[in-house]
Chains A and B, each alone.
Chain A
Amino acid sequence: AQSVAQPEDQVNVAEGNPLTVKCTYSVSGNPYLFWYVQYPNRGLQFLLKYITGDNLVKGSYGFEAEFNKSQTSFHLKKPSALVSDSALYFCAVRDPRMDSSYKLIFGSGTRLLVRP
């Protein structure tokens, strides 16, 4: 069965420092991978996705993620964190081979706290 793991419940980083939010997946075949961010009392906002092509994908708000097939990982990164990046981040996977639906399988979420 497909699954996504976000091993860190919370990541703490100082403003201006680089940040990494980890994600690993388990999917047969080639996965479609997504990152979403959730601010308090808001819905999920799409950040970026990997479908095919370059392993490094760039998304909104200066975020990027690197797809690593051998390590089955899709870590979210940003070179310089902002206090306003503090939010809940979700990694998600979709198995493109599934015919019944294109539902997303979500990780448990990682809370990012950027301190001034």
Chain B
Amino acid sequence: GAGVSQSPSNKVTEKGKDVELRCDPISGHTALYWYRQSLGQGLEFLIYFQGNSAPDKSGLPSDRFSAERTGGSVSTLTIQRTQQEDSAVYLCASSSRGSSYEQYFGPGTRLTVT
């Protein structure tokens, strides 16, 4: 079946601009995660959505970052007033409900802030 999809695959933006990154999870997966992969920083958790529960936003690095998940499916990660340190690969993952289930990752969006 179809995996997790993300768009765009690459995004180059100027410092100070806003960007939106999209994630389409695997159909039927109720949990959705955003992670960031930076050079020298490894993979870091950003935000988690589970069904209709309040999202876990504990990993968002600043208030310039926000995310929504509409209708329990598609998610959008928004970065306002981008900075050069926001340059990274943003990965989305989805899974079935429950802690024992593995997460399936999308191909990522490579964001470059110039």
Contacts and interface: CB of A to CB of B under 8 A. Distances in A.
Interface of A: 32, 34, 36, 41-46, 49, 51, 90, 94, 96, 100-109
Prevailing SS type, chain A contact patch: loop
Contact of A102 (B43, B99, B105, B108): B99
A62 B56 CA distance: 35
Given A44-B91, A90-B43, A94-B99, A103 B48 contact: yes
A32 B59 contact: no
Contacts of A44: 91, 93, 105
Contact of B31 (A45, A102, A108): A102
A96 B100 contact: yes
Residue of A96, A100, A108 with most partner-chain B CB within 10 A: A100
Contacts of B1: none
Nearest to A98: B99
Contacts of B93: 44
Contacts of A101: 45, 48, 50, 56, 58
A104 B48 CA distance: 11
Contact of B102 (A34, A100, A105, A108): A34
A94 B107 CA distance: 22
Interface of B: 4, 31, 33, 35, 42-45, 48, 50, 56, 58-59, 91, 93, 95, 98-100, 102-108
A46 B103 contact: yes
B111 to A, nearest CB: 14
A103 B59 contact: yes
B43 A106 contact: yes
Contacts of A106: 35, 42-44
Given A101-B56, A102-B31, A46 B102 contact: yes
A44 B42 CA distance: 13
